[in-house]
A and B are shown apart, each in its own frame.
Chain A
Amino acid sequence: MFQVRIHGRGGQGVVSGAEMLSVAAFLEGRYAQAFPSFGSERMGAPVMAFCRIDDREIRLREPVMEPDALIIQDPTLLHQVDLFNGFGPRGYILLNSTRAFEALGLTEFLRKLRFERVCTLPATEIALKHVGRAVPNVPLLAGFAAISGQLRLASVVAAIRDKFPAALAEKNVAAAEEAYAMVKKIRETADAQAN
């Protein structure tokens, strides 16, 4: 079972991101479970959503306590919410930021992790460029597919088309493709470095 935890703020599409992730996995014939953790229901409040992916029926119903992957949609949460609770050294991190981890004060933390499994991604900028909205969930989803290999880009694209009406879907697909390519490149570079 692969467990993803997504952190963000209300209005950033955290919940629909988790849902699309589950749809993408479903389209690959796998079982997936996505659910939100609601705090106060208002824009801007910290929000979490979870997604589990497995090849057999998922019975577990607790929140994702030990994520295999963390998607952090809003870097302002970094020193506010305990984002890395339960996160192990072999996990994946995708952080929405134009800055590098070092610039965000995470150098020490990074040393314990597999560096080819973590990266930052300017997801909001990519979303603004293609969709015109500062909602970073789709680029991060594509980025997650690229860095973890858990999902094919085609599945992510299909999930996007399932979620959004046609015109909006294609813009999001474009954003996804750019994010996927970007992270794939980062991953390939990192892999080469590791070897």
Chain B
Amino acid sequence: MLKQIEGSRAVAEAVALCRPQVICAYPITPQTHIVEGVGEMVKDGTLTNCEFINVESEFAALSVAIGASAAGARTYTATSSQGLLFMAEAVYNAAGLGLPIVMTIGNRAIGAPINIWNDHSDSMSMRDAGWIQLFAETNQEALDLHIQAFRLAEALSCPVMVCMDGFILTHAYDRVDIPMQAQVDGYLPPYEPRQILDPADPVSIGAMVGPEAFTEVRYMAHHKQLRALTLIPQLSAAFERQFGRASGGLLRSYRTEGAETIVVALGSVIGTVQEVIDEMREAGTRIGAVSICSFRPFPLAALRDALQNAARVVVLEKCLAVGLGGIVSDGVRKALSGIQLKGYTVIAGLGGRAITRASLLQLFTDATEDELEQVTFLDLNAEVVNHELERESAARRSGPTAEAILRRLGTVASNIG
């Protein structure tokens, strides 16, 4: 059924359709509306057979989820940014124990400096914890991916993060198609645990593993993610058959046929990228884009296929490997091992800075003319940076950096672009 609702609400309705049994929640901008939505549905009786637990921290949220999942319940939670870091120990624990928890990440920057707006630094911080990480391009895809995520998680006994851009998607009203309960039931069977705490058949979960076996246990986790590379496209295809629309999968190509330049990106920015691609194609530039949906497992082979015939690749990332440059770029480079082409990393949109059509048009044009640095910070205000560097070299007691820069720029988040 078509609805015009907030992205968070769409996700809440999708999660509810998946018949979750235990949901635990701790508030943090910008995911709060999702759990509020589900909480309301439980309280007013729309969502039955579901325990909604208000926990005292994100660490508690994922810990409660771990207990619930281990005892055989289909479990869900959501967080962002600082919250994800606060539960970091439990994130690794859940993956290591093989518990099929589904968690939404409302992507938000990590401080310091504290920032509530969107970028991918939070999901990236947990990229090697062993969770599957799927990125949504639109609110429709965000809700669709949650349905796929439960099935994927339970098939593999591996937790899954569904990542959606905070504010840009979570707080945007969009037209979405909410599936019917029968459709979801036809796609997602009841949870059948691979391991369960049951007095009738006792097992110990979470034992210490020594040097003799740790490597093998970790290899099993690695192997699980490799299997996911096959399973994710299969579940995406099954989704299309059941719901009638393409959604998810490992990656998606846009106008890459004969493209000399290909832009790689994750999440909602791809919408703006596609608009610019269309404009440039109209003008005769052979440019296309690839949007990565499955960031973990990283689709090395599929990406290689998609990119290998290009002359240059521009990786547009909303995250930063401090001192190094790109994070996604590393994976892309690895996918292109042995293939000679020009690779550019563009760090954009950090802390919610708008990625505009105008900036991208200039950026892509520069790229096609190979007039880009290896690593570019899009729309960096060099004057502000230089001024700050001068100030710091002038006095030892130069004070906090962020505050000094803000003093020059004015109020927080007062500019449009």
For B4, give its contact among A23, A37, A39, A81 (CB under 8 Å).
Answer: A23
Q: Note all chain B residues with C-beta closer than 8 A to A37.
A: 413, 416
Q: Note all chain B residues with C-beta closer than 8 A to A62.
A: 272, 354-357, 417
Q: Indicate with 1 or 0, residue by residue over A22-36, a CB within 8 angstroms of chain B CB atoms.
A: 110111000111111
Contact between chains at B412 and A39 (CB < 8 Å): yes
Contact between chains at B4 and A22 (CB < 8 Å): yes
**C-alpha spacing A33/B310, complex, angstroms:** 33
Q: Indicate with 1 or 0, residue by residue over A41-61, a CB within 8 angstroms of chain B CB atoms.
A: 100001010000000001111
Contact between chains at B412 and A35 (CB < 8 Å): no
Q: Note all chain B residues with C-beta closer than 8 A to A40.
A: 411-413
Q: Note all chain B residues with C-beta closer than 8 A to A58.
A: 174, 271
B residues contacting A by CB (< 8 A) are 2, 4, 6, 29, 116-117, 167-168, 171-175, 268-272, 274-275, 354-358, 411-414, 416-417
**C-alpha spacing A60/B275, complex, angstroms:** 7
Q: Note all chain A residues with C-beta closer than 8 A to B354.
A: 62-63
Contact between chains at B413 and A39 (CB < 8 Å): yes
A residues contacting B by CB (< 8 A) are 18-19, 22-23, 25-27, 31-41, 46, 48, 58-63, 65, 81-82, 85-86
Task: Known A33-B172, A34-B172, A81-B414; judge A59-B116 contact (CB<8 A).
Answer: no
Contact between chains at A61 and B4 (CB < 8 Å): no
**Would you give the shortest CB distance from B350 to chain A, in whole angstroms?**
15
* A–B pairs, 27, beta carbons within 8 Å: A19-B6, A23-B173, A26-B175, A32-B174, A32-B175, A33-B172, A34-B173, A35-B168, A35-B173, A36-B167, A36-B171, A37-B413, A38-B171, A39-B412, A39-B414, A41-B29, A58-B174, A58-B271, A59-B272, A60-B271, A60-B272, A61-B269, A61-B271, A62-B272, A62-B417, A63-B354, A65-B416
**C-alpha spacing A63/B353, complex, angstroms:** 10
**C-alpha spacing A136/B416, complex, angstroms:** 23
**C-alpha spacing A27/B414, complex, angstroms:** 33
In addition to A27-B4, A65-B416, 13 A-B residue pairs with Cβ atoms within 8 Å of each other are A19-B6, A26-B4, A26-B175, A32-B174, A32-B175, A35-B168, A39-B413, A58-B174, A59-B274, A60-B272, A62-B272, A63-B416, A85-B416
**Would you give the shortest CB distance from B36 to chain A, in whole angstroms?**
15
Contact between chains at B413 and A38 (CB < 8 Å): yes
Q: Note all chain A residues with C-beta closer than 8 A to B173.
A: 18-19, 22-23, 32-35
Contact between chains at A39 and B275 (CB < 8 Å): no
Contact between chains at B358 and A65 (CB < 8 Å): yes
For B416, give its contact among A18, A34, A48 (CB under 8 Å).
Answer: A48
Q: Note all chain A residues with C-beta closer than 8 A to B411.
A: 39-40
Contact between chains at B4 and A38 (CB < 8 Å): no
**Would you give the shortest CB distance from A68 to chain B, in whole angstroms?**
15
Contact between chains at B167 and A61 (CB < 8 Å): no
Q: Note all chain B residues with C-beta closer than 8 A to A60.
A: 271-272, 275, 357
**Would you give the shortest CB distance from A132 to chain B, in whole angstroms?**
26
A-B CB proximity, top 9 nearest: A59-B271, A26-B4, A35-B172, A34-B173, A39-B413, A22-B173, A62-B356, A23-B4, A61-B271
Q: Note all chain A residues with C-beta closer than 8 A to B175.
A: 26, 31-32
**C-alpha spacing A38/B29, complex, angstroms:** 11
**C-alpha spacing A165/B131, complex, angstroms:** 42
The residue on B at minimum CB distance from A34 is B173
**C-alpha spacing A46/B175, complex, angstroms:** 27
**C-alpha spacing A33/B173, complex, angstroms:** 6
Q: Note all chain B residues with C-beta closer than 8 A to A26.
A: 2, 4, 175
Contact between chains at B356 and A65 (CB < 8 Å): yes
**Would you give the shortest CB distance from B30 to chain A, in whole angstroms?**
9
**Would you give the shortest CB distance from B81 to chain A, in whole angstroms?**
14
Q: Note all chain A residues with C-beta closer than 8 A to B171.
A: 35-36, 38
**C-alpha spacing A48/B417, complex, angstroms:** 12
Task: Known A32-B175, A33-B173; judge A38-B356 contact (CB<8 A).
Answer: no
Q: Note all chain A residues with C-beta closer than 8 A to B271.
A: 58-61
**C-alpha spacing A195/B174, complex, angstroms:** 39
**C-alpha spacing A85/B415, complex, angstroms:** 10
Q: Note all chain B residues with C-beta closer than 8 A to A34.
A: 172-173
